[in-house]
Amino acid sequence: MNPARLTIAAVLALAAALAAPAGAQVPITLDEAASYQLFAAPDWARCWYPSSGNHVLNTILERASVRLFGLSEVAVRAPALLGAAVYIAACYRLCSRIGIERSIRIIAGSFVLLSLALGVPGSPLFASGTFLWFTALVGFMLFQSGFTRICPMEWILEALGMKRAARLPPAGR
């Protein structure tokens, strides 16, 4: 097996091993409890109920997980953890196909948008104004890498086995 892929597999296994106990120790939130009580716990017809709070795939997987493992914090959260793992794997696969240069732009843009969504008080995802410092950090790193060509994210992606894309002509020419 490729050493980079082995490293990625080891990191994902470690993350899963650390996330499962944390998921078991953190109490269920009001939203998780309400979602389970309203949509997953009743009969199957309720899983399809049209509501902005009912995410059908998550509800079906949550119901199956609770039936399989019993009612617990981990069983209720298992579909979200599974979805996150699939999302991370899909993002890695996409980024490995498009090359390091475009991947860095996508990652930086995603970090900025996420930190703004979490740091701006008017946002529905607002958590803390401290997230705006992360936006500043990403901006500073982009700024300095333009002059110094030093980019830690590039080093990380290379260590994960990503390749540089072939030089293509600019779009529209």
Judged by phi (left if over 0) then psi (alpha if -120 to 50, else beta), residue 132 lies in: alpha
pTM exceeds 0.85, yes or no: no
pLDDT in tens, 51-107: 777 778 888 888 888 889 888 888 888 888 888 888 878 877 787 778 888 888 888
Locate the domains of the chain by residue range: 3-87, 99-159
